[in-house]
Structure 1
Amino acid sequence: MTRRTYGGQRCTVARALEVVGERWTLLIIRDALLGITRFEGFRDTLGIPRNVLTARLNLLVEHGVLERVRYQQRPARYEYRLTGKGRALSPVVVTLMNWGDEYYADDLPGPPTRVVHEGCGGHVVPRMVCERCQPPLRLVEVSAVPAGWRRADDQSG
């Protein structure tokens, strides 16, 4: 596997892409979020070559996104379970899925999968919110600022 590195960049997006930016990786995470845990399950749903799947699973285990858990002694067999770090990628996958539904489902009768709230059945939609005051935000209401920057009127320490 050819790895692209972004070592010269001081950017956490670039660092995250080192782990999840390869073509198959988010699909593996999507399937894990849907409950697939075994090698053959990933292989069957994705149609991915064995060597590529092995490399991706090993990378995700190495980075703590998945954990390898033995489920059979003889012969030794393992499954791959999402860790907390892996489950934290669910908003990323849902956001990407909703984006794909909006811009790339033209030839489909509707979205192939919906993420729904189990409590009421409503469609889950990702939103940007301010961690302090909580309102939903639009892109025109946010800006990226250097780390350590504070507004002059910010009293939060």
Structure 2
Amino acid sequence: MRRTSFARWPCSVARTMDLLGDWWTPLVLREAFYGIRRFDEFRHELGIARTTLSERLHRLVEEGLLEKQAYQHEPVRYEYLLTEKGADFWSVLLAMSKWGDRWLASEEGPPVVLHHTRCGHDTQVNVVCAHCGDPVPVEESRMRMGPGYPPHLAERPEIARRFAEE
């Protein structure tokens, strides 16, 4: 069954979900951050079907989040290493983890905590303004059309309303 593609939507959330929109893909990336590199290790850690894992790894390599490197030549076997693009997904996983810790953790607390090795403390990520460093709560922010927004869509009344300043 063919699913709808969001790859060309003028929205980075939609495009990201087009790439990562199933539950296995972020979990494969999570395991890569834990240091898992080989197919059988991913399978063991996730309990994922071979074909599903093979499809996810292929897509992550194709999209440039993982890089495939041979570690054995007869038979050829590969390791999957995070690329710069893949490593940049770390902040997405941390934001998801923070939200899950707040809304889905048990009474005992979060199942995993983030430890900042440089300062030696457990921490959480916070979304802050890259300009002033202040937090960016929804009440104090809004989305605006960026330079890559398609002009033919920007002219539509419902789109103009979405981005209108109040």
The root-mean-square deviation of aligned C-alpha atoms, in Å, is 1.9
What's the CA shift string for 1:41-94, capped at 9, x where partnerless?
Answer: 111111000000000000000000000011111111101000000000001101
Conservation of the 8 A alpha-carbon contact between 2:32 and 2:82: yes
Task: Tell me which residue corresponds to 2:152.
Answer: none
Conservation of the 8 A alpha-carbon contact between 2:8 and 2:15: no
> Quick check: 1:143 aligned with 2:145?
no
Task: Tell me which residue corresponds to 1:93.
Answer: 93
> Quick check: 1:59 aligned with 2:59?
yes
Secondary structure at 1:77 match in 2: strand
Distance 1:2 1:121 in 2: 47
Conservation of the 8 A alpha-carbon contact between 2:43 and 2:50: yes
Task: Tell me which residue corresponds to 2:132.
Answer: 133
Task: Tell me which residue corresponds to 1:71.
Answer: 71
Do the aligned partners of residues 18 and 74 (structure 1) sit closer, same or farther apart at CA in structure 2, a change above 3 Å counting? same
Q: How many residues align?
A: 148
Task: Tell me which residue corresponds to 1:25.
Answer: 25
Do the aligned partners of residues 59 and 7 (structure 1) sit closer, same or farther apart at CA in structure 2, a change above 3 Å counting? closer
Aligned-residue identity in percent: 39
Distance 1:96 1:7 in 2: 21
Distance apart, 1:3 and its partner CA: 3.9
Distance apart, 1:33 and its partner CA: 0.7
Secondary structure at 2:118 match in 1: coil
Distance apart, 1:14 and its partner CA: 1.0
Conservation of the 8 A alpha-carbon contact between 2:128 and 2:135: yes
> Quick check: 1:102 aligned with 2:102?
yes
Secondary structure at 1:135 match in 2: coil
Distance 1:22 1:118 in 2: 31
TM-score by length of 2: 0.81
Distance 1:8 1:78 in 2: 31
Q: Which shows bigger deviation, 92-101 or 5-14?
A: 5-14
Distance 1:7 1:34 in 2: 28
Secondary structure at 1:137 match in 2: coil
Distance apart, 1:2 and its partner CA: 4.5
Q: Which shows bigger deviation, 68-77 or 115-124?
A: 115-124
TM-score by length of 1: 0.86
Q: Which amino acid aligns with 1:71?
A: Y
Task: Tell me which residue corresponds to 2:49.
Answer: 49
Q: Which amino acid aligns with 2:43?
A: R
Note the residue ranges of structure 2 that are not aligned, 5 or more in a row: 148-166
